[in-house]
Amino acid sequence: GENVEQHPSTLSVQEGDSAVIKCTYSDSASNYFPWYKQELGKRPQLIIDIRSNVGEKKDQRIAVTLNKTAKHFSLHITETQPEDSAVYFCAASPGDSSYKLIFGSGTRLLVRP
Amino acid sequence: GAGVSQTPSNKVTEKGKYVELRCDPISGHTALYWYRQSLGQGPEFLIYFQGTGAADDSGLPNDRFFAVRPEGSVSTLKIQRTERGDSAMYLCASSLQTGGISGELFFGEGSRLTVL
């Protein structure tokens, strides 16, 4: 089945710097890759997603890139702000069960003011 | 309601007891999911409903876990003979997704289960 690995587990950056979180997946048939943000004690919320027919997608300060050949995808946050501090989860949708998501183990991002 | 609602928000029980966790999805969402999240980990898939039927229960850890969605809306996750290892946050999510096509999941705030 699908396996998603996420790195780093923790990331500390200065406000205004960029942050990059990377994930790899094992199922070459996976076709949907969302990113969720979970603030402390809150529910996970979708921040951006990408499908396998696209290589890159941007939404203001957030971008996601996908390399299907290498089976990895990354989240890029530019001009980080303290309110970006949270746990970020990547996920992949397996090819044989595309209704569900397999999540990575999460990255705790701390943006220092 | 406006979002996915889960009750109780916190449940403390003793080993061996029976527990029910309830999820009220967003109105009109036919797809409903249960996930389990342990501390420091990502959500782990448990079960998926499309309408009233459990289309995929492959993530349920063992036969002590069962979930129902009798009218295609509210769902209940039932755990029998609870064990300390069942302690976790249980997240419910719903989606407009149909036909097996992946899309955004809307999560509830979760039910934190502690088994003493």
Model confidence over A31-67: pLDDT tens digits?
Answer: 999 999 999 989 999 999 999 888 999 999 999 999 9
Looking at chain B, which residue has its C-alpha nearest residue A106?
B42
Q: What is the pLDDT of residue B1?
A: 53
pLDDT band at A96 (very low <50, low <70, confident <90, very high): confident
pLDDT above 70: residue B81: yes
Chain A residues in contact with B92 (beta carbon < 8 A): none
Average pLDDT, chain B: 93
How distant is the Cα of B58 from the closest Cα of chain A, in angstroms? Answer: 11
Mutant choice from B102, B109, B112 vs A, greatest count of A C-beta within 10 A: B102
Average pLDDT over residues B89-112: 88
Model confidence over B15-43: pLDDT tens digits?
Answer: 999 999 999 999 989 999 999 999 989 99
Q: What is the pLDDT of residue B103?
A: 81
Which is more confident, B66 or B99?
B66
For A73, phi then psi, to 5°, come to -145, 155
Q: What is the pLDDT of residue A97?
A: 87
Q: To which residue do tokens 């406000």 refer?
A: A15
Provide the percentage of residues in chain A whose pLDDT is more than 90.
90
- Quick check: B31 and A43 CB within 8 A? no
Give Rg (Cα) of chain A: 13
Q: What is the pLDDT of residue B2?
A: 79
Of B4, B100, B107, the CB nearest to A98: B100
pLDDT band at B58 (very low <50, low <70, confident <90, very high): very high
Chain B residues in contact with A45 (beta carbon < 8 A): 107
Q: What is the pLDDT of residue A75?
A: 98
pLDDT above 90: residue B98: no
Q: Say which range, B11-15, B46-50, B69-73, B101-105, has the weakest mean pLDDT.
A: B101-105
Burial of A20-35, coded b for 16+ CB within 10 Å and e otherwise, reads: bbbbbbebeebbbbbb
Give Cα separations from A62 to A56, A79, A101, A111, A113 (angstroms): 11, 9, 21, 15, 19
DSSP 8-state secondary structure symbol assigned to residue B31:
E
